[in-house]
Structure 1
Amino acid sequence: MSRTCIIGGGLTGLVQAWQSQQAGHKVTLFEANDTVGGVLQSERIDGYLLDYGANTLSLRHQKVARILGELGMLDRSIDANPEASLRFIVRSGKVVSLPHNLGSFFSSPFLSPLGKLRLLLEPFIPKGKEDEESVAGFISRRLGKEALDFAGNPFLSGVYAAKPESLSLKYAFPALQEIEQKHGSLFRGMLKSKKNPERLSKSRLISFASGMQEMPNRILGLLPAECVQFKTRAIKIEKVNNQWKVTSQSKGSQKTKETFDQLICAVPASKLLDIEWKGLVSKELLPILAEATHHPLSLVYHGYDRAKVNHPLDGFGFLVPEVEKRNILGTLFSSTLFPGRAPENKVLLTTFVGGERQPKLANLEDSKLHSLVLKEHQQLLGTQGRPCFQKIKRWPNAIPLPDAKMGDRQSAARDLQEGNNGLYFTGSHLCGVSLPNCLEADIA
């Protein structure tokens, strides 16, 4: 029986462990923390259910649905409240709804009349020629500067906590680049993509009754109990005669050495060089593989009596364009999204602060961070008084950005794998940060 070692129990590492077990391998997974899932963490406090990483999973493709079905997660999933289909942005200091049908496109103040006209000209814009175009350049070229400022910029801050100027179209949204090259227009391409057999007939926005951590916990339950070694770090990896000798250590224990036929490294890029690597071909590529851009992000959770919030909270939440010069990136209406996120007659708001736009704000002390968010919500949502519940979750290295360096990381991973038989790398710094990407990640 082939022995496979997996380092890192985030979602990608867990999926690889499960797939290796399904293939008949004897699997050992080293996880430095006392729980699996990486950033997919959920916690219930005082009747509020908090997700510290992703809050939703967008289910659009057959392959992801098939994987979730095989994991037994589809039957456990819950769909977002239909009200969550409504999205908001801030414009001129007010929370305004984004269009959700043709009529609302013309009535919504999300863009000026000239901005909407420029958007409608998209099918007549010629294809781009830049292979390394930024997301900002692509949106501005195809949809106009106003669409970049009031759609692209806030959307990218919500997904990556980053500016569109910093992101590579090729790695952040390869599907958009492919649509443009194949169809010449995003509008035409998206209409045709609805007929793609790989897409589900109807997309779903899902979570789970106990939050998003239920997904990695479910995968953990499918693995043998002895498979996962918690609070254990791989501190040294050595290639010996086409096998992999791994030295691991738990807190307060002696070092342990084991030999494996395959090694799958799924640790975050920022942790890759904490491991001592010996005997690798092309070892000089490891620093390139480890070089991922991150920015600090803080998640601020506020609970209110429902009567103390003037806004109807009838949607997914709102995002803040950079040109609005506010101190938050956006807020999710968490208790609107899914049931069970707040006690009866209470609401839960999840707010994002920092990122590339304002990294210093993410590092404010707790009291100042709460006060900052409180002031923003008073002005934008009409909240009254102080929240009856509050909590902060900080991510010093929040999201590995799909910038121009992502191609260098992927190339380094391929070269290292080709030169070292049985060695594989995976993780969100290579496959992308979306949950579908992590579920589908391939080590080949």
Structure 2
Amino acid sequence: MGEPQTGTDPQIKRVAVIGAGITGLAAAYRLRELAAAREFPLEVELLERGARCGGALETIRRDGFVIETGADSFLSEKPAAAELARRLGLGAELIPTRETYRKTFVVRAGRLVEIPAGFSLLAPAHLGPVLRSPLFSPLGKLRIAMEPFIAARTGGDDESLDSFVTRRLGREVLDRVAQALAGGIYTADPKRLSMAATMPRFVEMERRYGSLVKGMRAAENARAAKTSDVSGARWSLFQSFRNGMATLPETLAARLGTSIRKGAQVITMARNGDAWRLATAGGDSIDADAVICSAPAYAASRIVATLAPVAAKMLGEIGYASAATVNMTFRESDFDGPPRAFGFVVPAIERRRIIAGSFSSFKFEGRAPAGAILARAFVGGEMSREMMSLSDDDMIAAVRDEFRALLGVSVAPGFTEVRRWPDSMPQYEVGHLARVAEIERGVAEIPAFAIAGAAYRGVGIPDCVRSGEDAADAIFAKLSTTK
């Protein structure tokens, strides 16, 4: 059992990939693609500590419902995920969001209010819809209208979301919209969330145009104003798969087949001659010529602790938040006129027990049978950690209370699915990019080793795919040029 595993042919190079989330799956598949294209003898072993692959991409298909327990879509503006899907032959499975319902709401004084048209994450392209909206007070609207006249910041150091938004647009925009929308993506505390790492396009707008409103308008003009009537986000840029997001990791796992080893938690690695020896929690050893670590930063920190102590310490300092999703099925008749929208976000100042709600069956075709509604709520995150200590039943009860108060639906759901994602959301705190650059410099000193994943340069699925593929490219280049 404890004997190291080695390839039978010394000519065959071997790469161990740690972690079979979407990053590790993409890295392992990319290595296989490169080896096949170059006719290079390579073995890939993908080591997953748990019993399933795909990380936070998990789809439950039940009774005609396609239920996402993690991410429900990805941004097609960043091409890596869609390109990988096409290389896997999944191009025809990609679906866009449904145009009819491309709206998003925000809770204001216990009621759902539509986010003004042209308002994207934290800034508007037009002042008219903002001035007509009940979302902001007269003083809040005046403060937003002043934004084009506020001098741009000259320093180049990183800034928190809280500081950036209040400086440019005022406290109401932060409290009423920006915190909630950013919270839906990063489940983060705006006082600590890095602008440079999470929303660099807004930092660049201020630098280039001196104003977010002017920058938003310029960006809209560049897109020929084709999405100007859409609130909250440019929903046309989001895609999913016909049978759910798990289609991508399931297909990758099927292609990788016996290369995947589940229940294999790597705890340390050490040099073994010119190669690596990885030790697992079960007492096994695995030998490899190179290693890609796509485990979360806290796990990567332990694995490289003796190899790069400074980088390991910084990896360990990247915080994570926990979150949960509660999916519920309803009949359309259960609602008193359901909001025909993708969903809603809940600002922290509303002091409610969910951070967002969405209607999967309005967002994408084929998510629920005719006459049914599939809804889900997001719970937890950095701003409401206490929710994660609830039992599943108590969490469902809390979500039902919120849906009753906000949407008037008091009927019990047909069925519910609760999924907890502990320590799953890396927190990009102020100074994150500088920290990551320092980590990368430290890790670069470790031979035939690379790190990848959501903790570093993007939490989205395309970011993770790109991160995994970049690591694979770098490792393959090292192996294929080594004599």
TM over 0.5: yes
Indicate yes or no: 2:272 matched with 1:240.
Answer: yes
* Cα RMSD (Å): 2.6
Q: Is the 8 A contact 1:242 1:421 kept in 2?
A: no
- What is the CA–CA distance in structure 1 between the aligned matches of 2:206 and 2:89, rounded to whole Å? 37
C-alpha separation in 1, matches of 2:94 and 2:200: 28
Question: Which residue identity is paired with 1:52?
Answer: T
Task: Tell me what 2:91 maps to.
Answer: 74
Shift of the 121–66 alpha-carbon distance from structure 1 to 2, 3 Å rule, reads farther
Identity of aligned residues (%): 30
Q: Does 1:109 align with 2:120?
A: no
**Gap change, CA 1:248 and 1:104, over 3 Å in 2:** same
Match of 1:5, SS? strand
Residue 132 of structure 1, aligned match among 149, 154, 158: 158
Kept after mapping to 1: 8 A contact 2:301/2:315: no
- Residues 161 and 259 of structure 1: is their aligned pair in 2 closer, same or farther, counting only changes over 3 Å? closer
Please state if 1:230 is matched with 2:297: no
Aligned partners of 2:250 and 2:159: how far apart in 1? 39
Contact 1:36 1:216 in 2 (8 A): yes
Whether the 8 Å contact between 2:80 and 2:462 is mirrored in structure 1 is no
Per-residue CA distance 1:262-316 (angstroms, 9 max, x = gap) = 21100012323554765x2x33431321322122322122222211111423111
Map 1:401-440 onto structure 2 (within 5 A). 401-404=427-430, 406-407=432-433, 409-440=435-466
- Of 41-50 and 353-362, deviating more is 41-50
Residue 209 in structure 1 maps to residue 242 in structure 2: yes
Match of 1:35 in 2: 52
Alignment of 1:219-368 (within 5 A): 219-223=252-256, 225-248=257-280, 255-260=284-289, 262-273=290-301, 275=303, 280=307, 282-368=308-394
Between 119-128 and 205-214, report the one with greater CA deviation: 119-128
Shift of 1:249: 6.2
Asked if the contact 2:158/2:431 (under 8 Å) is kept, the reply is no
Is the deviation greater in 60-69 or in 397-406?
60-69
Please list the CA deviations of residues 395-418 of structure 1 after superposition, one character each: whole Å capped at 9, or x if unmatched. 221311111363464134312332
1:390 is the counterpart of 2:416: yes
**Cα distance change on mapping 1:239 and 1:303 into 2, 3 Å:** same
- Over 3 Å counting, the alpha-carbon distance change for 1:61 and 1:429 in structure 2 is closer
1:84 to 1:241, Cα distance in 2 relative to 1, 3 A:
farther
- Return the alpha-carbon distance in structure 2 between the equivalents of residues 410 and 241 of structure 1: 29
1:313-339 residue CA offsets vs partner (Å, 9 max, x unmatched): 311101111222222111011121112
Residue pair 1:161, 1:357 contacting (<8 A) in 2 also:
yes
Q: Structure 1 residue aligned with 2:76, among 47, 59, 68?
A: 59
Q: Secondary structure at the match of 1:357?
A: helix
Partner of 1:21: 32
Q: Which of 45, 56, 66 is the aligned partner of 2:62?
A: 45
Partner Cα separation in structure 1 for residue 320 and residue 392 of structure 2 = 21
Contact 2:265 2:280 in 1 (8 A): yes
Q: Which amino acid counterpart does residue 243 of structure 1 have in structure 2? A: A
Give the CA deviation at 1:248: 4.0
Normalising by the residue count of structure 1, what TM-score does the alignment of the two structures yield?
Answer: 0.89
Structure 1 gap ranges (5+)? none
- SS of 2:17's equivalent in the other structure is strand
d(CA) in 2 for partners of 1:368, 1:349? 18
Q: Distance in 1 between matches of 2:13 and 2:208?
A: 43
Deviation (angstroms), 1:344: 2.9
Pairwise CA distance, 1:133: 0.9
What SS does the corresponding residue of 2:116 show, helix, strand or coil?
Answer: coil
Counterpart secondary structure, 1:139: helix
Seen in structure 2, the aligned counterparts of structure 1 residues 182 and 211 have a Cα distance that, compared at 3 Å, is: same
In 1, Cα distance between the equivalents of 2:222 and 2:76? Answer: 15
Secondary structure of 2:288's partner? strand
Long gaps (5+) in structure 2: 1-11, 36-41, 119-125, 228-233, 475-483
- 1:88 maps to which residue? 105
CA gap 1:122/1:242 in 2 versus in 1, 3 angstroms: farther
| Counterpart amino acid of residue 218 in structure 1 | T
Q: Distance in 2 between matches of 1:321 and 1:114?
A: 19
Amino acid at match of 2:140: G
Deviation at 1:118, TM superposition (A): 2.5
Q: Could you tell me how far 1:34 is from its partner in structure 2? A: 2.8
Aligned equivalents of 2:326, 2:79: Cα separation in 1: 34
Secondary structure of the structure 2 residue equivalent to 1:118: helix
- Conserved in 1, the CA contact under 8 Å of 2:353 and 2:402? yes
Q: Is the counterpart of residue 168 in structure 1 residue 194 in structure 2?
A: yes
User: Residue 237 of structure 1 contacts residue 277 of structure 1 at CA under 8 Å; is this kept in 2?
Assistant: no
Please give the alpha-carbon distance, in whole angstroms, between the structure 1 residues aligned to 2:427 and 2:364.
Answer: 28
What is the match of residue 148 of structure 2? 123
Report the CA distance shift for 1:64/1:374 in structure 2 as closer, same or farther (over 3 A): closer
SS of the aligned residue for 2:55 comes to coil
CA 1:62/1:357 → structure 2, altered by over 3 Å: closer, same or farther?
closer
Task: Answer yes or no: is 1:187 the counterpart of 2:198.
Answer: no
